[in-house]
A and B are shown apart, each in its own frame.
Chain A
Amino acid sequence: MSSVSIRNLQISFGALNVLETLDLEVQEGEFIVLLGPSGCGKSTLLNAIAGLLDITEGQIWIDGRNVTWAEPHERGIGMVFQSYALYPRLTVEGNLSFGLKMSGMPKAEIARRVLEAARILQLEHLLQRQPAQLSGGQRQRVAIGRALVRNAKVLLFDEPLSNLDAKLRTELRVEIKRLHKSLGSTMIFVTHDQVEALTLADRVAVMHKGVIQQLATSKEIYQRPINRFVAGFVGSPQMNFLPGTLVRRENATCFRLRDGSEVNLTGYVFSRPFADGQAATLGIRPEQALLRPSEHQHPDRLEAVFTIEEPMGPDTLLWGTLAGESFSVRISSDQTPVIGAKTDLYVNMAQASLFDEAGDRL
């Protein structure tokens, strides 16, 4: 039985359709990340699941119950917000117990649950503090604790790490992952940060313009993006896109670039048939192009000219052009690149992506 099930959901504000007939099945204990640029409808979807937003069409099921018309607190969810949304003028303990007091739970049970949440999140020594006296990371832990005390089967996170600095973000990200492992509750996590998405998720739902473009594991999303949007949105620096045409030869399929040069596509697994001479785009991630061929590789090569070198520590980014298109390559920092002259690049086509003119994967 699925834990959260969105069926035929549609949300419009006036004439504007924010979500269009969206379906999503989340398994029990699964960690789903909704990833997308701002304005793609990911937060809208989360708010709809929480019951904080009126929906136009469709149903929302949580834990086998149709909660489409239920109040937020009746849905068995806990929610963590980007701005922490801690109640000012209440101590940490007051914040954690606020919801339980509202539901009229016995005092002893409230105290037990607050202590339990404080123990899990290491907040015991902060219970009597005011939110204003806490650091950003501590505030967000309190906000997570507030969702935990409800013993909700489904936890919703609305960009909870966006307000934190880089170091804290990494720490809290690991903490959330650990929490998910130990609690086993279903988690739905909204973010525009692809690193958070790829590291946390069991499955990532990449959203664009109110539609889930691809729902798959982090690996699948990164290695086999279903269309150009997903390919371009996930990965940093962006995947390189080279326009050209597909050419069928006797014993192989080739890709002809704009400048007339050709590469052999041996190793690429097509997911659907294509026509000879069809226009297409070849997508190569920066780390998929190598300066030296690996052992089993086809000797075909691409010619690029690099103009800028960016040392990043463990690796180095090269920026330049290939067949008139801007092109970037990630190499390990012990390699010495040639700047300003033609450089040979070797690509394992089994890892590359091909998209048709509409942007869908071939």
Chain B
Amino acid sequence: MTAPETRIRSVPMGEGPSGPAPKSLSTARIGIYAFLFISALFFLLPLYVMVVTSIKPMEEIRLGGIFALPTTVTFEPWVKAWSSACTGLDCRGISPGFWNSVKILVPSVICSIFVGALTGYALSFWRVRGANLLFAALLLGAFLPYQVFIYPLVRIYSATGLFSTIYALVLTHVIFGLPVMTLLFRNYYAGIPVDLFKAARVDGGRFFSIFFRLMLPMSIPMLVVALILQVTGIWNDFIMGLTFGGLANRPMTVQLTNLVAPTEGEIAYNVNMAATIMTAAVPLIVYFISGRWFVRGIAAGAVKG
């Protein structure tokens, strides 16, 4: 061991700056914060109006000041929107739509992610003949507007007796989710070293056992991303629910439109706002809970390992 004082330090320190430069709050940084603050304000303003309006009684709304804070706070519009607002002759509020949406959402999300992950896994590890062609075809599907498929799908579902059932809706969501889900998982698995897959094959893994025991547990970041994408997409879907669900399976979005559509008499803005917030709440909550994972998942796909 050498004692510290024997360390060779023959060059003396000069005058002036030494060590790291001090950090200062520059004008550019102030500008960035100002911009961020104004943007946040801009995007939050509509939400503020919605929340404030939904807890005001109608008398206050008639006064006009949409930015004003409520003088009397009431949650009656929320209760009414949930359980007793009328869409046409049906006066059960928006709650049946909520439960319909849940019934559509859960199987659709699970099936579409599962099928997408499985396809992505098969495409990237099991060099299937024509895999690239298949993948290109799938990608093409992701770029076509899905409105063009509606009529053919209606014909197919009515011919097979699926029309107006929840199965038709789930199937539709799975099919339309497939291209993006496959793309997502294929790219994620492309970043996993192929040696890992080879090792699993030498260890006796087969198609499904490698997928379930090795690949799926490794894909948690990507599963979260897929979950957010699919929950948001399927919950917010309007046109599929309107077209294929039939009267009994209307999702919340369709019911919301019927609820807020102008009818005779006074428009209950507070009820409408409450119903809208409730409809938007599910994707928002999912986002808030897993937003960190979302960003992490996207980055994890880009960086190897």
Contact = CB atoms under 8 A, between A and B. Distances in A.
A311 interface: no
A89 interface: yes
Contacts of A73: 201-205
B202 A78 contact: yes
Contacts of A82: 195
B204 A89 contact: no
A51 B199 CA distance: 11
A87 B199 CA distance: 9
Contacts of A47: 198
A87 B196 contact: yes
A4 interface: no
Interface stretch (A95-103, A178-186, A211-219): A95-103
B220 to A, nearest CB: 9
B200 interface: yes
Contact of A102 (B193, B196, B203, B218): B203
B199 A85 contact: yes
Interface string A145-175: 0110010000000100000000000000000
Contact of A99 (B193, B196, B202): B202
A79 interface: yes
A79 B218 contact: no
A277 to B, nearest CB: 54
Contact of B193 (A52, A83, A150, A158): A83
B202 A72 contact: yes
Nearest to A47: B198
B258 interface: no
- Please tell me the size bucket of the interface on A: 20 to 34
B65 interface: no
Contact of B204 (A50, A52, A84, A99): A99
B202 A79 contact: yes
A79 B200 CA distance: 10
A89 B214 CA distance: 9
Given A83-B195, A89-B218, A52 B201 contact: yes
B158 interface: no
A77 interface: yes
Contacts of B201: 51-52, 71-73
Query: Which of the listed residues B195, B205, B213 has the most CB atoms from chain A within 10 Å of its own CB?
Result: B195
Given A82-B195, A102-B209, A89 B217 contact: yes
B197 to A, nearest CB: 8
A170 B203 CA distance: 28
A99 B203 CA distance: 4
A50 B198 contact: yes
Contact of B195 (A71, A81, A88, A103): A81
Interface in A56-93: 71-73, 77-79, 81-85, 87-89
B202 A52 contact: yes
Interface in B189-233: 193, 195-196, 198-205, 209, 213-214, 217-218
Nearest to B217: A89
Chain B interface helix/strand/loop/mixed: helix
Interface string A25-50: 00000000000000000000001001
Contacts of A102: 203-205, 209, 213
A253 B214 CA distance: 67
A91 B213 CA distance: 14
Nearest to A104: B204
Given A98-B203, A102-B203, A102-B205, A88 B198 contact: no
Contact of B202 (A50, A83, A87, A89): A50
Nearest to B192: A88
Contacts of B205: 73, 102
B121 to A, nearest CB: 15
A88 B209 contact: no
Contacts of B217: 89
A51 B201 CA distance: 9
B133 to A, nearest CB: 16
A150 B218 CA distance: 24
B204 A103 contact: yes
Given A73-B204, A102-B205, A81 B199 contact: yes
A85 B195 contact: yes
Contact of B200 (A50, A83, A87, A103): A87
A51 B203 CA distance: 12
Contacts of A89: 217-218
Contacts of B199: 79, 81, 85, 87, 143, 146
A87 B193 CA distance: 11
A265 B295 CA distance: 72
Interface in B21-73: none
A333 B193 CA distance: 46
B256 to A, nearest CB: 42
Contact of A79 (B198, B204, B209): B198
Interface string B226-248: 00000000000000000000000
Interface in A263-320: none
B97 to A, nearest CB: 40
Nearest to A143: B199
Nearest to B127: A54
Query: Which of the listed residues B203, B217, B218 has the most CB atoms from chain A within 10 Å of its own CB?
Result: B203
A332 to B, nearest CB: 33
Given A87-B200, A102-B204, 8 more contacts: A72-B201, A72-B202, A73-B201, A73-B204, A85-B195, A87-B199, A102-B203, A102-B209
Interface of B: 193, 195-196, 198-205, 209, 213-214, 217-218
23 contacts: A47-B198, A52-B202, A71-B201, A72-B202, A73-B201, A73-B202, A73-B205, A79-B198, A79-B199, A83-B196, A85-B193, A85-B195, A85-B196, A85-B198, A87-B196, A87-B199, A98-B203, A98-B213, A99-B203, A143-B199, A146-B199, A146-B203, A150-B203
Q: Which A-B residue pairs are the 5 nearest by beta carbons?
A: A99-B203, A73-B204, A85-B195, A81-B195, A85-B199
Interface of A: 47, 50-52, 71-73, 77-79, 81-85, 87-89, 98-99, 102-103, 143, 146-147, 150, 158
